[in-house]
Each structure stands twice: as structure tokens, then as C-alpha cells.
Amino acid sequence: MKQYLQKAVGEVLSSLHYSSGALFFEKPKVAAHGDLTTNIAMLLAKEAKKNPRQVAQEITGALHPDPALVAAVEIAGPGFINFRFTPGWVVESAKEILRQGSAFGKTNPANGRLTNVEWVSANPTGPLHSGHGRQVILGYTVANLLEWTGHAVTREYYFNNAGNQMLNLGESIYARYRESLGDSYAFPENGYAGEYIKDIAAAIAAEHGDALRESGEDKKYFRQRGEEWCFASIKKTLERLGVRHDVYYNEDSLYSSGKINEVIEEFRAKGLAYDLDGAVWLKATELGLEQDRVIVKSTGEPTYRLPDIAYHREKFRRGFDLVVDIFGADHIATIPDVLAGVRALGYETENVKVIIHQMVSFVEGEEVVKMSKRSAKVYTLDELIDEVGADAVHYFFVMRSANTHLEFDIELAKEQSDKNPLYYLQYAHARIASILRFAQEQGYPVDDVAALLPSVANALLKEDAEVNLLKLLLDFPEMIQSCAFGYEPHRLTTYLREVAEAFHRFYHDCRVLGEDKSLSTARVALCLMAKTVIFNGCTILGVSAPEKM
């Protein structure tokens, strides 16, 4: 419909010698203002030095939309042009929902664009903690949204199993191992204090006894065992949330393949790197940043910036033309350096989309749940899943805009009542399923789309509650596009809540199964449409849509 109006109004504009560059349609906030509106007359009025309403008159006077689609065109307020759809068009388009079923909502504006979404990327030094949940879920949902809008998505996890943190992990496990042998052995100052370190150490002690007591300087075995354990733990947690990555990209491969040195040499050749105090510095000030940064430490080890730059360049070399990174706000400082570096290597960073989410705090009713990374008592993501369930983890972490601080209410997430927005949504789905089961018993062709389609007619579905529900359901594909375009999954949760609400309203106002068989069939079809949209939305969110609760 938007495309139709875009074209029709666009033609009118050019016939009137107006520019149509700023022509947009949007859904008015207030239903009384019609189904779609445009502000084009007010924008044109300025350059034409005319009254906006007068410009709107000119446009509508020359506009003759198809009466089968558009019921009314009105000029309102300071010069908005409002369009109202015909009920016939609404009902006719709604048939698509039934025809497409589980594919309804999928569109292809991105046309197979090769897209890399990188997220989680936690190093294997411990289990995922509850705060990681936000980015785990955010990336999962964004990747789904991109896929539903035609991106060819590669889901990627970037990790480093070679740096200082890993050495520290090995040392920490070794220390716990010695303790378990009854030795008094100093625990590393910044060692990992978590209980899991003791578990790993205990497992090693059980297998090897004291045979590894004198491992000398090399704690490689301990490090390896730690890495295996941590990765297994992380992957298991992700699995519980249905999160899968296509590629695990090891930072180490950037060294072994010489990609790191290549970048250094290129920076040197471009005069963007210099030596000072035994370290190699990136001339970031040359790239418009505040200060120069070390890329190779005086010890000879690169800082994280260098591999990050090389890694991003590799993504482009691998053929991706959209690169999406998801970071927590605590990593925000690294981004400008990395982008500047990539740009200096000759790549367009406008195709790098960095999504930064703000921090999460957990509350249980009135109480704030304290969590400290350094302390031994870390609330893991696994424990959060145990506590509230995978569905609530999915829903609650994307419920709010990424760039605002998120308050995760554990008590609310557990609550099985109308207070919990997730339950409200799932209840709507279960309720529809229940009605459809009942309808099936009565002999309605619930599973037979071809048999239901003819009943979908505007002579039958004409109550306000029915038409409003239909219109809302028809917004679904565009809603997904706009969520994907803005990387804003939280808007999908709001939308789905509205769908559930519109359905409950319809259920309340209109009896589905009544005396009139053809009307009942039409309403069964409408139930099925609502169920389809809720189901598809839940699929994108990674939330289950239960048949019964």
C-alpha cells in the first residue's frame, strides 16, 4: 500500500512540478487520523512559499487513487494528507497471512546481502555471567531480524585463547590444584576467584593425583584444561538459549597466518606507525583521534587493538558487505581506534554497524541484586536461566532499547501472571490454540488454508475489533523491517504485546464459534492469522509459543 501511494502521489507531484524526494508515509499515532499520512505538503509549502493546506489541496485535487484500495483522502491539521484504506483491501491483503503461514513477515529488502554478526565473543576464562545475557540475546535477535529481511547472515564468535588472561587462568587453576594437594601456595594476585576454578583443579587432581605438582613455569596443561572446561560451559549455556554460531574465529589464526604483521607493515608504510620506548604506536592523532595508541607493547605482544583491526579487515576480505558488532558499554573505548584503523587500511566503515548496549542491573522486587566480577560469588547466566527460564531470559533482555540501562526484574520474570508481559503474550497464543482445538472438534477446517480463505471477506469481518486486529497483523512485515533497519528488537516486543491485546479485545467483543457458520469460519481464520503472527514473532525472539499453559 505504501508503495502504491508512493508511486501515485509521486506522479502527481512531478506533474505539478514539485520535488518528491522528501515524500514519506507513516502511520499516524491517532487512529482518527487515518491509516497512513504524509507531511509532504508542509515540506513543499516552504520552498513554494505557499500555504501548506493550499499545496495539499493541489495534490489531492490531482490525485485519483484506486477506489478499491483507498476509501478516503483528507486534508487535516496544518496540512497533513491522510489516507484511509477500504475494508475490502484490508481483508483481501490479510489472506496473505494465511497463505504464507510461518513465512509471513519475511521480506527481502536486503536481497541476500552478506552480513556478519559477531557477538558474545567472551574469552574462555570462565562461564558466562548474567550480565552477558543482554548481548547474547541482543545478538541472537538482531541476527534473526536481519535474516527475516533478506540478509545472508553468518553468526560469529571471536575469541582469544592465547593472551595474558589465559595465562592467568592457567596460574589460577594451578594454584587451586596445589591447594587441593594440601600445599600452601600463593594464589595469583589478580587470579580468577570463581568456584569453577576449584572444580577444574579438583578434576585434574582426581585424574593425576600429585603427578603435576612440579609443572615448572609452564602451566600449559592447566591452561588447556581450563579453556576446554570454560568453552564447554559457555557453549552449553548458549545451547540452552538456542543460540548457535556458525563460525568460531580464533584470534590466534591472525598471528599464525601473518595477518597481524601485515597490518603493522602497512601502517609503517603509510607512516601511521612509529617506535617509542620500545613499543610500536599507532599515529591515531593522524586519523582524527585524541591520542596515539600502543599497538605492540614493549614486551613484543600486541595490544587488543591490533588484532581487532586485522580481524575487521579480514571480515571485509572474506566478502561480507555488512559487519555488525555487538558490545557492552564497557568496551566502548576501543571502537573509535579500531574503526579508524580499518579506515586507514582503505575500507569503508559505514558498513560496520556497532551496537552498544548499556549495562544491566538485576532487581528482585525491591532489592537490587549485587554482582561483582572479581568476587567469588558471580551470578552466572546459567543460574539466571535456572531461575526464570530461557523464555524469560530472551524476552526480558530485548524488552528495552539497547542504549538505555536495563533493569531486569527477576521476580517479575518468574511471575506467572498478568503482570508479566511474557505471560500475557504466551497466554494469547495458548488461548487461540485452545479455541482452534475447540473449533476443530466442531468440524471447522482449522488446518485447511484453502478452505478457510473464501470465508475471509469484508462482509463478514467488519466489527471494529476485527478490522483493528487485521490492520495490526498486516503491519507485521513492515514492523520487522523497521526493527531490523534500526537494530531495535525491543520494538518487536511492544508490537507483539499490542497484537495480543488486540486479540483479547476481539475475543471479548466477538464470539468466534456461534450460530452463523460462515461468520464463525471467518473468525476461525482470523484466529489463525493472529496465531501465525504471534508465533512468527516469538520465533524471532527465541521465545516459545505454547499450545497450552
Partner RNA sequence: GCACCCGUAGCUCAACUGGAUAGAGCAUCAGACUUCGAAUCUGAGGGUUGGGGGUUCAAGUCCCUCCGGGUGUACCA
Q: Which residues in 42-71 contact RNA (CB under 7 A)? A: 42-43, 46, 52
State yes or no: residue 463 binds RNA (CB under 7 A).
no
In this complex, which beta carbon is closest to RNA, that of residue 18 or of residue 427? 427
Q: Give the nearest distance from C-beta 32 to RNA in angstroms.
A: 6
Among 4, 221, 304, 487, binds RNA (CB under 7 A): 304
For residues 162 and 252, the answer to whether their CB atoms sit within 8 Å is: yes
Site string for RNA, 160-189 (x = CB under 7 A): x--xxx------------------------
Q: Give the nearest distance from C-beta 196 to RNA in angstroms.
A: 19
For residues 227 and 221, the answer to whether their CB atoms sit within 8 Å is: no
Q: Give the nearest distance from C-beta 339 to RNA in angstroms.
A: 12
State yes or no: residue 118 binds RNA (CB under 7 A).
no
State yes or no: residue 433 binds RNA (CB under 7 A).
yes
State yes or no: residue 80 binds RNA (CB under 7 A).
yes
Instruction: List the 352-357 sheet strands across, edge first.
Output: 247-250, 152-159, 114-118, 322-328, 352-357
Among 64, 99, 268, 405, binds RNA (CB under 7 A): 405
Q: Give the nearest distance from C-beta 355 to RNA in angstroms.
A: 11
Q: Give the nearest distance from C-beta 505 to RNA in angstroms.
A: 5
Q: Biggest alpha carbon distance in the chain?
A: 92
Q: Give the nearest distance from C-beta 291 to RNA in angstroms.
A: 8
Among 297, 370, 377, 517, binds RNA (CB under 7 A): 297
Q: Give the nearest distance from C-beta 329 to RNA in angstroms.
A: 4
State yes or no: residue 329 binds RNA (CB under 7 A).
yes
Among 175, 512, 528, 540, binds RNA (CB under 7 A): 512
State yes or no: residue 124 binds RNA (CB under 7 A).
no
Among 177, 362, 395, 423, binds RNA (CB under 7 A): 423
Closest by CA to 488, choosing from 390, 348, 355, 340, is 355
State yes or no: residue 505 binds RNA (CB under 7 A).
yes
Hey, what's the cell of 284?
591515531
Backbone φ, ψ for residue 85 (5° rounding): -80, 155
Among 418, 443, 450, 515, binds RNA (CB under 7 A): 418
State yes or no: residue 255 binds RNA (CB under 7 A).
no
Show Cβ contacts of residue 415 under 8 Å, excluding neighbours closer than 6 positions: 423
Residues 91, 179: Cα–Cα separation, whole Å: 72
Q: Give the nearest distance from C-beta 401 to RNA in angstroms.
A: 3
Q: Is 229 helix (H, G, I), strand (E, B) or coil?
A: helix
Hey, what's the cell of 75?
486534508
In this complex, which beta carbon is closest to RNA, that of residue 85 or of residue 177? 85
String of DSSP letters for 283-334: -GGGGT-SS-EEEE-TTSPBPTHHHHHHHHHHHHHTT-SEEEEEEEGGGTTH
Q: Is 410 helix (H, G, I), strand (E, B) or coil?
A: helix
Taking the CA atoms of residue 229, residue 233, residue 239 and residue 243 in that order, the dihedral angle to the nearest 10 degrees is -100
Whole-angstrom distance between the N-terminal and C-terminal Cα of the chain? 38
In this complex, which beta carbon is closest to RNA, that of residue 81 or of residue 205? 81
Residues 477, 226: Cα–Cα separation, whole Å: 45
Q: With CB under 7 A, what is the number of residues at the site for RNA?
A: 90
Q: Give the nearest distance from C-beta 81 to RNA in angstroms.
A: 8
The β-bridge relationship of strands 406-409 and 36-38 is unpaired
Among 298, 375, 440, 518, binds RNA (CB under 7 A): 298
Show Cβ contacts of residue 444 under 8 Å, excluding neighbours closer than 6 positions: 513, 520, 521, 524
In this complex, which beta carbon is closest to RNA, that of residue 127 or of residue 177? 127
Residues 206, 277: Cα–Cα separation, whole Å: 47
Q: Which stretch binds RNA (CB under 7 A): 11-19, 94-102, 145-153, 409-417?
A: 409-417
Hey, what's the cell of 434?
485452545
Q: Which residues in 19-38 contact RNA (CB under 7 A)? A: 24, 26-30, 32-34, 37
For residues 107 and 147, the answer to whether their CB atoms sit within 8 Å is: no
Instruction: Identify the residue whose cell numbers are 498478568.
Output: 418
In this complex, which beta carbon is closest to RNA, that of residue 312 or of residue 400? 400
Among 64, 414, 511, 517, binds RNA (CB under 7 A): 511
State yes or no: residue 370 binds RNA (CB under 7 A).
no
In this complex, which beta carbon is closest to RNA, that of residue 218 or of residue 290? 290
State yes or no: residue 435 binds RNA (CB under 7 A).
yes
Show Cβ contacts of residue 494 under 8 Å, excluding neighbours closer than 6 positions: none
In this complex, which beta carbon is closest to RNA, that of residue 279 or of residue 449? 279
State yes or no: residue 233 binds RNA (CB under 7 A).
no
State yes or no: residue 299 binds RNA (CB under 7 A).
yes
Instruction: List the 80-85 sheet strands across, edge first.
Output: 36-38, 80-85, 70-76
Angle (CA) 462-463-468 rounded to 5° is: 95
Among 151, 245, 293, 315, binds RNA (CB under 7 A): 293
State yes or no: residue 368 binds RNA (CB under 7 A).
no
